[in-house]
């Protein structure tokens, strides 16, 4: 937290190295977030790039009131939603298998099983209503609280929790169906 504030402070005073540090620190998480929200790697890269460009252009007036990660996560979520709205149709593209990586690589056997499941899960995510997918992604990848998700979606906390739960239930049934096969 303090490190972010210092990086931001340096960046605001012209340090490009400080910006590079911010970029390297968060680009991976933001791409994962955007890719899971949009289900499309190219769109995800565009969205994250737009967020960083907007950030550098407005940094002079920028006032950090929470965490930098939280701020960037919210920006990605807003941009992703705008992107979805503009397209006016749901993206169903699945992120290519080659670029889906499993973060837990402790067991090679588990990795194979997980990869099969992850393919299905990734596809199932794109089939969810966007609001449910957004609630799940922001919660699990953006590490947002339900209160923050509710604010972002302009809904009550209860509704945010419901969207998360319904979405999760659907994903679980898809995965269970797959396991039975």
Partner 1 sequence: MRPADNTENLIKKLRYKASDEAHDRILDNVMQALDESEKQKAGAAAPNIWRTIMKSPITKIAAVVVIAGVLIGMHFVGLSTATVTFAEVIKPILNAQTAILDTIIGEEGEGPVIHDMVRGSRIRRTLSNMEGIVAIIDLQEGRILQLTHEKKEAAYIDLKDWPSIPNYMERLRNVITGLQEHPEFAVEKLGEQEIAGQRLIGFRATHPKAEITIWADPETALPVRIESTGGQMILITKNLKFDVPMDESLFSMDVPEGYTQQQAELDLHGATEEDFIEGLRIMAEVFGDGNFPESVALEDYLKQAPAIIKKCEELGLSEEEQTELGMKLQNYLLFIRFFKGEGQWHYAGKGVKLGDADTAIFWYRPEGSETYRVIYGDLRVEDVSPENLPK
Least spacing, CB of residue 13 vs partner 1, in Å: 7
Contact, 125 vs 39, CB < 8 A?
yes
Q: Mention every residue, 6+ apart, whose C-beta is less than 8 A from residue 96.
A: 41
CB atoms within 10 A of CB 73: 25
How many residues of this chain bind partner 1 (CB under 8 A)?
58
Least spacing, CB of residue 129 vs partner 1, in Å: 16
**Residue 138 found at the interface with partner 1 (CB under 8 A):** no
Tell which positions 82-121 bind partner 1, by CB under 8 A: 95, 99-104, 114, 117-118, 121
Least spacing, CB of residue 98 vs partner 1, in Å: 10
Least spacing, CB of residue 87 vs partner 1, in Å: 19
Sort 38 into a burial class: Cβ within 10 Å, 0-12 / 13-18 / 19+. buried
CA distance 79 to 57: 16
**Residue 147 found at the interface with partner 1 (CB under 8 A):** no
- Which CB atom, from 84 or from 137, has the smaller least distance to partner 1? 137
Scanning 76-84, 85-93, 136-144, 153-161 for contacts with partner 1 by CB under 8 A, the matching segment is 136-144
CA distance 24 to 16: 12
Residue 14 — φ and ψ, nearest 5°? 100, 5
Least spacing, CB of residue 103 vs partner 1, in Å: 5
**Residue 66 found at the interface with partner 1 (CB under 8 A):** yes
CA distance 124 to 117: 10
Q: At what angle do helices 68-87 and 2-12 cross, to 10 degrees?
A: 70
Contact, 72 vs 90, CB < 8 A?
no
**Residues that bind partner 1 in the complex, under the rule CB under 8 A:** 1-3, 5-6, 8-10, 13-14, 16, 19-20, 23, 27-28, 31-32, 34-36, 41, 44-45, 48-49, 52-53, 56-57, 60, 63-66, 95, 99-104, 114, 117-118, 121-122, 125, 136-137, 140-141, 168, 171-172, 175-176, 179
């Amino acid at each position: 937290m303090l490190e972010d504030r210092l990086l931001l402070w340096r960046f605001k005073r012209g340090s490009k190295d400080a910006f590079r540090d911010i970029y390297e620190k968060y680009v991976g998480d933001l791409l994962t977030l955007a890719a899971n929200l949009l289900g499309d790697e190219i769109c995800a890269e565009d969205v994250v790039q737009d967020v960083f460009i907007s950030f550098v252009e407005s940094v002079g007036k920028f006032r950090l009131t929470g965490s930098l990660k939280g701020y960037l996560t919210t920006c990605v979520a807003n941009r992703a939603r705008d992107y979805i709205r503009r397209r006016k149709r749901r993206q169903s593209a699945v992120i290519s298998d080659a670029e889906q990586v499993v973060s837990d690589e402790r067991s090679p056997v588990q990795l194979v099983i997980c990869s099969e499941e992850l393919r299905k899960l990734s596809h199932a995510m794109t089939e969810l209503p966007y609001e449910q997918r957004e609630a799940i992604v922001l919660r699990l990848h953006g590490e947002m609280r339900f209160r923050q998700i509710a604010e972002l979606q302009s809904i009550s906390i209860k509704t945010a929790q419901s969207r998360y739960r319904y979405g999760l239930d659907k994903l679980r049934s898809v995965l269970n169906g797959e396991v039975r096969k």
